[in-house]
Amino acid sequence: MNKKLMGALFGVFVSGSISAYAVGVTDEMLANDAKSTDNVLSWGMGTDAQRFSTLTDINTKSVSKLVPAWSFSFGGEKQRGQESQPVIYNGKMFVTGSYSRIYALDVKTGQKLWKYEHRLPEGIMPCCDVVNRGAALYDNLVIYGTLDAQLIALDQNTGKVVWKEKVDDYAAGFSLSAAPLIAKGLLLTGVSGGEFGIVGRVEARNPKTGQLVWTRPMVEGHMGYKYDKDGKAIENGITGTTNKSWPGDTWKTGGASTWLGGTYDNSTGLAYFGTGNPAPWNSYTRPGDNLYSCSTVALDLETGQIKWSYQTTPHDGWDYDGVNEFVTFDMDGKRLGAKADRNGFFYVLDAKNGKLENAFPFVKKITWAKSIDLKTGRPVYDEANRPGDPTKGKAGEKGETVFSAPAFLGGKNQMPMAYSPQTKLFYVPSNEWGMDIWNEPITYKKGGAFLGAGFTMKPVFDDYIGAMRAVDPKTGKIAWEVKNNAPLWGGVMTTAGGLVFYGTPEGFLKAVDAKSGKELWKFQTGSGIVAPPVTWKEGGTQYVAVVSGWGGAVPLWGGDVAKKVNLLEQGGSVWVFKLSK
């Protein structure tokens, strides 16, 4: 009897169900996830992260009949921000919670099947709350990252650990918060920790064993590696050119963390990762463009080599990052990719070669740059809006303070947008805010905050901060917007039923008309929503699910903005909805 059949039969014996184990998640299933309606196998509802569902049972006419099917509480006192997108397979929902927890739930009833709670050490250093954004599915495994920078693979049926790998040293500032990406049999992950002077990278592993295949650093001057079958590291070329855009030793603590994870496009065969801010924030310490920070980087899956890159904020001085998801789509016979960047501009690039096709603002107030030069692809800076050099004044004093917009939390942050091939619009959860920001003297210390800047967040307008916007990637026009008093921090989903679903910090899951933005339905979940919704079909019934639980970066870093949301209650639960009969 061959090993595959033995494994399948063993799974059937243990679970008591043929369907529960006999067929695991395959590469073919992941490649077709965006078209599948009975599962949600990946972060983004498809590796290209369009977050579009072809389901139509819940539509503009029927959505008013949407009612709760069940709700599940994460329990305990460990609430804080809940940013997870559930993944669903074979009658089970796998959803992560704050503090590196993960649950398996029955999708029809919400019954807990198992829970795994990773034991975290003292001294973890997540910069922006103790969040986790989700898990990946492969074969019979569910895989997720932890706040102490480990990757854990669990058996989908039992929750037992199959493998566990340390990614890096949490005491140096490393952590993991993004959902892993699986493409063509490889597990791709990034790292968090840019505020601590770590060096960002992308790793490829064997998802069945956790063994490294290759690593690619995201700061010029660092060596990439590939690994043989025995795990031996083999040099695989330096990223960029040492000291070309990072003077002296600045590249050694350069940041550019890959904290939001990546996307993959089947048609181009490339994986796309966004990179974070250069470290420290004080830009006068590191003259130059500081490649490959604040960029979208396209990677060859087999080798880990950078095929192309596009930098949205060269020589970043405002913590604008560049990690926002790169969503591929078709327009005018081309395969393109779109990115709503933290710096306030919306970018459209050729997904095959990274050539800039279009760039325009998607927020109303941008002060750091006047525009994006479509010929060079570079921003036209307003140099007067860069925070001042602290070395120009008295020793130990801060540099000149400027008011910059967007604020460092960005025109859009971790909350993923969605694209509808029906309307040909992107649905972008955006925020209008600014900041007083100044630079300070700074030196690197392992495990210490490596900023060299101070800031105070401020609202730009009196009547709203958040705005759900329908963006035309061809013209740059805003087709419609729905304003929200508090900042939007949860993701978006759109459907062939003509709907856009998104949550608000005030606790509402909302459904609006994809063409007009007209509100058609809402439900109060009891806590703020900072996670993206999903939908699928089970036993002939279409369901919608979202995780509820206020937290994330806004209440931690929000300054004057936080005063607007400090009355919101924390929570931790999954809500699932279906149409009433």
Q: Do the beta carbons of residue 514 and residue 423 sit within 8 Å?
A: yes
* Closest C-alpha among 193, 113, 187, 189 to residue 155: 113
Residue 304, amino acid? G
DSSP E strands in 221-326: the ranges are 223-227, 233-238, 262-265, 270-274, 295-300, 306-311
Look up tokens 């063409």; give the residue: 515
Instruction: Report the greatest alpha carbon distance in the chain.
Output: 78
* Closest C-alpha among 316, 357, 320 to residue 335: 357
* Closest C-alpha among 479, 469, 471, 468 to residue 503: 468
Cis (ω within 30 of 0) for the bond into 280? yes
Q: Which residues contact 287 (CB under 8 A, 6 or more apart)?
A: 247, 315
Examine the residue annotation and report whether 436 is marked as an active-site residue of this protein: no
Residue 42 region by backbone torsions, left for phi larger than 0, else alpha for psi between -120 and 50, else beta = beta
Report the half-sphere exposure of 40 (CA within 13 A, side-chain side).
34
Which of the following is catalytic: 319, 350, 436, 513? 319
What is the rounded distance in angstroms from the CA atom of residue 386 to the CA atom of residue 305?
33
Active site residues: 319
